[in-house]
Homo-oligomer: A and B are copies of this chain.
Amino acid sequence: MPKKNIPKLAIRRLCIYKRMLSRLLEKEQETISSKELGKLTSIPDYQVRKDISFIGEIGVARKGYNIKKLNDHIINSLGLIEVWNTAIVGVGQLGTALLNYPRLKEMGYNILCAFDIDPKKIGKKTGGITIFPSDRITPTVRKNQIKIGIICVPPGAAQTVCDALAKGGIRGILNFAPIALNIPAHIVKREIDFTVELEFISAVLNLMKKKRS
């Protein structure tokens, strides 16, 4: 049980440390210092230490952190042991890639079903998952206790399917459609827009150039 409120940004970084730690588990190395872990994740050592301190004292002076112990501790503190029933809405280019992405299941996101509006896709299987019609989202989510929904439909349809997921009792939504979703506050939302990230890169490059000149 974490001492106090963990900052949102610290949570994300803890997930990134864990990602690195789970890779290190396969190596013989037993412990790692905040400096080393920082090097591997492009995060300063004091930030690594401070982030870890939010979930308790786990390091050993002069030695660093035990890799397995720290990995487990992050998993426990953030509750990442849990397996989440997950659904994907929209089985196009991106949805198909996700349905074939084994890492999702490995990380505890168990995809139970997929939805699409296209009659040619409904009833078929992709990545071993059956595709249901999108007007069945609400009852199916409710019946299967689906907790997390991943939206991969065109932007024009995203709010509609989001509402259907919400009505079914979804708890978290990962949205890939390039549009901000309106969503009740009790649902945790995360939006990823590749083109916004690319534009961010462009903007930073441009502003770097301008400053130099």
Residues of A within 8 A of B (CB): 1-2, 6, 8, 11-12, 14-16, 18-20, 23, 40-42, 78-80, 82, 84, 93-94, 96-98, 100-101, 103-104, 107-109, 147-148, 155, 171-174, 178-183, 188, 190, 192-210
Given A84-B198, A93-B97, A107-B195, 19 extra CB contacts under 8 A: A1-B210, A2-B207, A19-B178, A23-B155, A40-B180, A78-B203, A79-B206, A79-B207, A79-B210, A93-B100, A94-B97, A97-B97, A103-B178, A104-B195, A107-B199, A147-B205, A148-B201, A174-B197, A188-B208
Say whether B78 contacts A206, CB under 8 Å. Answer: yes
Chain A binding surface, main DSSP class: helix
> Who on chain B is nearest to A173 by CB?
B201
Which residues of chain B are near A6, meaning CB under 8 Å? Answer: 207
Complex: A179 Cα to B174 Cα, angstroms: 20
> Who on chain B is nearest to A127 by CB?
B93
Say whether B96 contacts A206, CB under 8 Å. Answer: no
Say whether A93 contacts B82, CB under 8 Å. Answer: no
Say whether B148 contacts A174, CB under 8 Å. Answer: no
> Who on chain B is nearest to A1 by CB?
B210
Say whether B205 contacts A171, CB under 8 Å. Answer: yes
Say whether A204 contacts B16, CB under 8 Å. Answer: no
Which residues of chain B are near A202, meaning CB under 8 Å? Answer: 78-80, 82, 84, 108, 148, 172
